Structure 1
Amino acid sequence: MVLPLALLMVTFARASDGDLDPSFGIAGVAYAGIADASSYSGMSMQPDGKVLACGTHATGNDHDFLVVRFLADGSPDTAFGTNGRVSIAFDHSPYSGYDQCSSLAVQPDGKIVAAGSTKWNIGPAIIGLFAVARLTVDGTLDPSFGEGGTATAVGTQALISVAEAGSVALQTDGRIVVGGQLMATEGGPLYRFALARFTANGMLDPSFNGTGWTEISAISFPQSDAMAAAVALDAQARIVIAGSNPHDAESNANSDFAVARVLPNGALDASFGQAGRTLVAFDAGGSGSGSDIAYGLAIDHAGRTVVVGMADTSSTTTPNYDVAVARLLDDGSPDAAFGDAGKVRVAFDSVPAGMDFARAVVVQADGKLVLAGAAQGASSRVPLLARLADDGSLDPDFGDGGRKILHIGTDPEIGTINRAALAGDRLFVSGVEKTAASAFDYFVARVSITLEDPIFADGFE
């Protein structure tokens, strides 16, 4: 009788996770120090505890990559670039360019890979390419990478109108995988999943599909568009890419989660789903025709694919979105041990017909899933967190019954978490937050969490 009582007391006394860590930055939050942040941003952790964030910022008539580095306490790292900030331009002179960094990764040698998109106008036409840059540890462009530290892809002028990269992943052999979407003019315009792989020196890798890039078109998915948002590598170096696929070819509405897996040589993996791709339909609305949109992706410790985003639960023409999570087994089929036939929805429902979504997911060492994104408030959007147990149920030890709203901005708050990462018993999240009447800045926040002993996480508690 003594041991169960002791365990009960420990559980009762443990503080709820999800609170901002006041020892980081100012009250748990650090800012990049700009006023014109865009909606998308990236983040990565260094092994020494420093935190990197990226986005875009205005430089005259152009917008360039912005990369910011914070020390472990949240203060700017003055040894990086200029006062902790680096600007990277992809030159399209004489045209004005818009360069957006949306993902970061740190190589084992400490060099920093920043990935996103570069766009420019030629007359009425918009041209866009995947854009990758590599920085040395002090923030200077690495001359051994690409052309002076930068590289671009995808496709050919005949095929591509606009390409947008949303995510980057590093292979153990030093090659760099960038995933996103392209809008093809061929038979379109249609969006398609796109992947590019670069060698360690920044050249397109011809061992990947013969060209260094591949696209997964409407032929691979049942309907017109396939819009990608995230990419990850599994233990076998297979590339998983996730996004959304509308099943209304005319309006591009009423979409499902779309996931594809590609072999290291660039070919679709026939052992996954149907010929390398699968769709996940939540169909949570009463009419069964709502839009399900995926934004984030992770591979868990068991090799399962976890995809997060939002699902429309409304039975009317007015949408009402909940956070949505799907977990797939190695063959692409739904994991029946997770939620309802492999699917979970988390409703914050601060307002009727609101939009609650997750843009990132991380897997704790104990197998629990932390979701990060935004919830619709009474007059604005606020950053959200949620934590799920291995079976998909909300974790009562996190926040308020498994849910947490982070209050970090001005009143009224407007903010979104785009990325999340774990470092021991600290959770780092980054995104965009309103800081003044018309100013938006990139932020990094540190959140306290408790990791269970994996023995107890396996069900022996």
Structure 2
Amino acid sequence: MKGSDRAAIPGETDMSFGANGKVVLTGTSSASLYSNGTEFAVSPEPVYIAPHQLALGLDGRLLPAFTLNLGAISPIQRAAMARLTADGHPDPSFQAGAFVWHGEVAKAFGVQAFERVGNSTLFCAEINSRTPEAGFAIVAINDDGALDTRFGHNGAVLFIKGDALPFFIGLDIVSADDSHILLAASISSDFGLEPVLIRLTSDGAFDTSFNDSGILRLGADFPEAALAGRLMAVRQEEFIVVCPRAGNRARRYSFDSGEPDLSFGDNGVANLAYPDGGPIDSTRLIAMNMDSKGHLWFAGEWTDKSGDVFTYQHGLLVSTDKDGRPMPLFGTNGFQTLKKDQANFSLSYAALDDAGRVLFGGRRMSVNVDRWWGVVGRTLPSGELDVDFGKIGIVDVAQIGSVIDAFPEFAYQPAKGRLLSYYMDALENETTIRAFVT
């Protein structure tokens, strides 16, 4: 490790990352990392930074997306992203290290960055839902941090609620290349939330070769998604695999036509509910990932609803092959539950390392205390906790507060052997990226 002859131990903080193993994004309005102009530099008010999503860009560099809250009274919110080197240092070639979208946002649900190979970085941000222009913006940013005016209208494509478009919720960038941009979202309807896939051309126009309109509505395939919220999706070569967040079923669709693939799972549906785990709503999946072989990994929670003494959540990992069928060598027929003490435990990230071990991240509740802690961990290829990672296979990251929907974000850097956690430290009131040795 840096400054020491002792070998790095899996589960310990990686001291070669940032400053002593972490990067702190919280600062005042005069901090150069958050200013790409004079708007924030002249403000005497402090800047509060709320973390959203953490993406890996080219060459392993990091793209944390966040919300700037300016001022303590009636704060103005701006969606923003930073670009850091793979080792956690501000990238000086990217303006002042950050990009700020100057459209005011509300909850900023779904702020995200996505770096396209050989092209501009895409940035997704919510537009204030308290105005007639409520919706989302997809913004294209050149490598130097300036707007790419070749994209959309002066660098942005707006999804504004109106006669032609519904109100989009939780827009996520799934994949992007020189030809297409694939988005996952939910739309507000009379029946609640309906999941949709959206395909755009590379310059931001709706791709009408995809389901005739560029929008594929999936409400009939996922009626349970009316209460589930966001749609999770991954690009799998010529297919798109989707699963509603907080749901437990996945389907696969053709990337070219949007037609359902009936060879996936059982007659087109992969049932991901924990077997013999009580009511079907006992399983809630919160994240989906794909490894280099196309195998699918799901992370979430299973609630033990048996008996009437005490009910709590177990962390849940689910592994399937590329066709949505359980991997029998992982856990029990593809399912593995995890727990730490007698307390609620939920997982929101899973990734496979080169040795076939599963790196995971999530949160746990303090025993008898309404406080959540971020956690990272590792399992053996069999699904059992790897005691060589932090002694018991699970390591606490930091206290993240008591907000029921608050989950840390995670990213894995295979070339660096690091698992990153991105979160708001409730004790220090700091938005932080922390690195762990894997």
TM over 0.5: yes
Change (3 A) 1:148 1:68: same
1:359-370 aligned at under 5 Å gives the runs 359-370=348-359
Q: Which residue of 1 aligns with 2:235?
A: 233
Q: Which residue of 1 aligns with 2:33?
A: none
CA contact (8 A) 1:416 1:433 kept: no
Deviation at 1:284, TM superposition (A): 7.0
Q: Which residue of 2 aligns with 1:77?
A: 91
Deviation at 1:229, TM superposition (A): 4.3
Deviation at 1:428, TM superposition (A): 4.1
- Pick one of 385, 403, 415 that aligns with 2:394: 403
Deviation at 1:19, TM superposition (A): 1.3
CA distance in 2, matches of 1:80, 1:427: 24
CA contact (8 A) 2:66 2:80 kept: yes
Q: Which residue of 1 aligns with 2:297?
A: 306
CA contact (8 A) 2:358 2:379 kept: yes
Deviation at 1:114, TM superposition (A): 2.0
Structure 1 unpaired stretches of 5+? 1-12, 246-255, 450-461
- Pick one of 64, 68, 74 that aligns with 2:82: 68
RMSD: 3.2
Deviation at 1:421, TM superposition (A): 2.5
- SS of the aligned residue for 2:17 comes to coil
What percentage of residue pairs aligned between the two structures are identical?
A: 20
CA contact (8 A) 2:129 2:135 kept: no
CA contact (8 A) 1:375 1:384 kept: yes
Q: Which residue of 1 aligns with 2:206?
A: 204
CA distance in 1, matches of 2:323, 2:85: 41
Deviation at 1:274, TM superposition (A): 5.1
- SS of the aligned residue for 2:408 comes to strand
Deviation at 1:137, TM superposition (A): 1.3
- Pick one of 320, 338, 353 that aligns with 2:312: 320
CA contact (8 A) 1:360 1:373 kept: yes
- Pick one of 402, 405, 418 that aligns with 2:409: 418
CA contact (8 A) 2:399 2:425 kept: no
Deviation at 1:343, TM superposition (A): 1.0
- Pick one of 348, 366, 370 that aligns with 2:340: 348
**TM-score, structure 2 as length reference:** 0.81
Q: Deviations over 1:108-166 (max 9, x none)?
A: 2262222353341258xxx853432221112112111112222234886477344222x
CA contact (8 A) 1:118 1:131 kept: yes
- SS of the aligned residue for 2:425 comes to strand
Matching residue's letter, 2:101 = I
Deviation at 1:89, TM superposition (A): 3.4
**TM-score, structure 1 as length reference:** 0.77
Matching residue's letter, 1:114 = F
Q: Which residue of 2 aligns with 1:180?
A: 185
- SS of the aligned residue for 1:41 comes to strand
CA contact (8 A) 1:306 1:328 kept: yes
Deviation at 1:304, TM superposition (A): 1.8
1:38-437 aligned at under 5 Å gives the runs 38=50, 41-59=52-70, 62-82=76-96, 84-90=97-103, 97-109=106-118, 111-122=120-131, 129-153=135-159, 157=163, 160-165=166-171, 167-185=172-190, 188=191, 190-217=192-219, 219-221=220-222, 223=224, 225=226, 226-234=228-236, 236-244=237-245, 256-264=247-255, 265-273=257-265, 276-282=268-274, 288=279, 291-315=282-306, 316=308, 319-349=311-341, 352=342, 354-378=343-367, 379=369, 380-407=371-398, 416-434=407-425
CA distance in 2, matches of 1:278, 1:317: 32
Matching residue's letter, 1:324 = L
Matching residue's letter, 1:259 = A
Deviation at 1:368, TM superposition (A): 2.2
CA distance in 1, matches of 2:113, 2:163: 27
CA distance in 2, matches of 1:317, 1:173: 56
CA distance in 1, matches of 2:398, 2:118: 36
CA contact (8 A) 2:317 2:350 kept: no
- SS of the aligned residue for 1:89 comes to strand
Between stretches 383-392 and 98-107, larger displacement belongs to 98-107
Change (3 A) 1:360 1:304: same
Q: Deviations over 1:9-45 (max 9, x none)?
A: xxxx98641211112222211022255344x611223
CA distance in 2, matches of 1:294, 1:401: 24
| Moved beyond 6 Å, runs of 4+ | none
Q: Deviations over 1:31-84 (max 9, x none)?
A: 22255344x6112233344322002222575422210122344232333233x2
Change (3 A) 1:33 1:110: farther
- SS of the aligned residue for 2:364 comes to strand
Q: Deviations over 1:238-265 (max 9, x none)?
A: 11222346xxxxxxxxxx4132222112
CA contact (8 A) 1:183 1:192 kept: yes
Matching residue's letter, 1:181 = S
Matching residue's letter, 1:203 = A
Aligned residues: 403
Deviation at 1:369, TM superposition (A): 1.8
CA contact (8 A) 2:410 2:422 kept: yes
